Amino acid sequence: MRFAPAPTGYLHLGSARTALFNWLAARSVGGTFLLRVEDTDLERSKPELIDVIYRALEWLGLDWDEDPIRQSSRIDAHQEAVDGLLAAGLAYWSDPVPESDRERTGGKAWDIADRDRGLGPGEGRAVRFRVDADALGVTEVGWDDAIRGPISFALANIEDFVIRRADGSPTFFIANAVDDAHMAVTDVIRGEDLINVTPKYLLLRQGLGLDASALRFAHLPLIVNEQRKKLSKRRDDVSLLDYRDRGYLSEAMVNYLALLGWGPPGGEEVCFDPLGVFPEVFRIGDVNDSSAFFDTQKLKFVNGEHIRHLGAAHFAERSRPFFESEPWSDRYHDETFALIAGEVQTRVETLAEVPGYVDFLFLADPEIDERSWDKAMVPEAAGWLDAVIDGVAEWPWQSSELYERTMALAETLGASRKKFQAPVRVAVTGRSVGPPLFESMAILGRDECLRRLGTARARLSDGTATTEPSGP
């Protein structure tokens, strides 16, 4: 099996899924997983672009078996194949037809009459493969797709296609056919969007006398967006590594990507070791044939499950990069975070959400969310805060004590527990949602809590609470 991406500067989600399924197929049958970089376009052979692919695959944990092949390094073999086809009369030189002259070609940019002109190499002239039922001795090309069953095309519907550009470079069609044979690829697993190039590929292999008898094809369903369209660079988030930067774990990505078009038998969708477990049960023929919507809601759920499964140390370690971009990153401490990390872990779906849950621990002053403030600071809040401030000043400094005593206070004052804790929470953390309040206060310390409660209480006295714009 092989994965053959073109270097575009990022690894596309769909490509990542194709790579994964190739990898799974290979690992499930003890086969070989090879990489071939399709850089026949000279602009696409920049080393840094290729490196991105390796880094993305490594992030996913997909290992390959031999040194990757650069298609650009195989140009001689491709040229040789083109020459062979030319010599056998299965290919011919073709001139471009200018826009103004396309009436005679039925609007086509090339002229089928070139087939018999016996043209030689020349300026602007490309080589086309001759899709000719008589010459090839067939009227149909087809194959038995591992996922879709029999697929066939009438030769009459396939046009003569370019195998060598005017600039001398081989095209994807010929390079593909030649290199797959060279690499002894037995299973071609790729996206559904390549179904229609398969007949060309088959014809070329036949024309070149390359054995294709052992070849198996499997065309994966496309991954689509909410509009049911193929994921596009323009309007969808298609770069795999961007998901890493948004706080998704690689195991979760692998897990979710595998669920697009396939499901582990038994229905246990969330798998904490997909790379270890899935190869045992994966069969390429089980992949289904209709397109799959890339559902970030479910991705988030899967990611959340994987985050919760992380050990405390791992969670902290993998969260760390996400603190670096915070304005308070220089005040961050591992030790402080470790005290609350477990509580954060059950509340986030992506690692990127982590800083938002603990910023108040590291900020000199909590950033007050005005909506939370307005909601929490009911008319009784001033009195409640006064009572809490008195208590906080002398209560034993333990979260359990703070909890018990605050709740007792709420009861004494005839307030509901929920409403009573809200002003305290906003005063101390700036928000109405967050990790458990009393643990947070215990970590912050008595003096700091008193200071923040005092600040909030003072603001209430100003009477400008609901009209004052938020600070810088």
Partner RNA sequence: GCCCCCAUCGUCCAGCGGCCUAGGACGCCUCCCUUUCAAGGAGGUAACACGGGUUCGAAUCCCGUUGGGGGUGCCA
Site for RNA in 353-382 (CB under 7 A): none
Residue 110 binding RNA, by CB under 7 A = yes
Closest CA to 351 of 303, 296, 301: 303
Query: Is the backbone of residue 445 left (phi > 0), alpha (psi -120 to 50) or beta?
Result: left
User: Does residue 233 have an active-site annotation?
Assistant: yes
Min dist CB 291 to RNA, Å, is 6
Q: Which is nearer to RNA, 362 or 403 (CB)?
A: 403
Closest CA to 217 of 464, 414, 418, 25: 25
**Ranges within 236-265 binding RNA (CB under 7 A):** 259-263
Region binding RNA by CB under 7 A among candidate stretches 154-162, 208-216, 384-392, 448-456 = 154-162
**Ranges within 219-238 binding RNA (CB under 7 A):** 221-222, 224, 227-230
Would you give the binding string for RNA spanning residues 22-51, x where CB under 7 A is met? Answer: ----------------x-xx--x-------
**Ranges within 184-203 binding RNA (CB under 7 A):** 192-197
Instruction: Choose the catalytic residue: 46, 108, 233, 375.
Output: 233
Residue 99 binding RNA, by CB under 7 A = no
Identify the burial level of 352 via C-beta atoms within 10 angstroms of its C-beta, where 0-12 means exposed, 13-18 middle and 19 or more buried: middle
Residue 105 binding RNA, by CB under 7 A = no
* Residue 458: both structure tokens together: 């003072």
Residue 325 binding RNA, by CB under 7 A = no
Residue 178 binding RNA, by CB under 7 A = no
Region binding RNA by CB under 7 A among candidate stretches 78-86, 302-310, 318-326, 330-338 = 302-310
- How many C-beta neighbours within 10 Å does residue 156 have? 10
Region binding RNA by CB under 7 A among candidate stretches 1-9, 210-218, 389-397, 452-460 = 1-9
CB-hemisphere CA count at 13 Å for 367? Answer: 10
Among 80, 132, 269, 367, the residue binding RNA under the rule CB under 7 A is 269
Residue 447 binding RNA, by CB under 7 A = no
* Residue 199: both structure tokens together: 């007949």
Min dist CB 45 to RNA, Å, is 11
**Ranges within 200-219 binding RNA (CB under 7 A):** none
DSSP for 248-299, please give it: --HHHHHHHHHTSS---TTS----S-HHHHHHHH--GGGS-SS-EE--HHHH
Count of chain residues binding RNA (CB under 7 A): 86
Is residue 3 a contact partner of residue 33, using CB atoms and an 8 Å limit? yes
Query: Is the backbone of residue 69 left (phi > 0), alpha (psi -120 to 50) or beta?
Result: beta
Residue 408 binding RNA, by CB under 7 A = no
In angstroms, the Cα distances linking 206 to 85, 168, 201, 214 are 11, 23, 9, 13
Q: Which is nearer to RNA, 440 or 464 (CB)?
A: 440
Residue 310 binding RNA, by CB under 7 A = no
Bridge partner list, 152: 142
**Ranges within 415-434 binding RNA (CB under 7 A):** 417-418, 421-422, 425, 432-434
Which residue has tokens 């002398």? 394
Instruction: Say what angle helices 437-444 and 417-429 make with each other, to 10 degrees.
Output: 40
Q: How far apart are CA 405 and CA 363, in angstroms?
A: 27
Min dist CB 463 to RNA, Å, is 26
Q: Which is nearer to RNA, 29 or 166 (CB)?
A: 166
Min dist CB 170 to RNA, Å, is 8
Min dist CB 375 to RNA, Å, is 9
User: Kind of pairing, strands 126-129 and 91-94?
Assistant: antiparallel
Residue 435 binding RNA, by CB under 7 A = yes
Kindly list the catalytic residues. 233
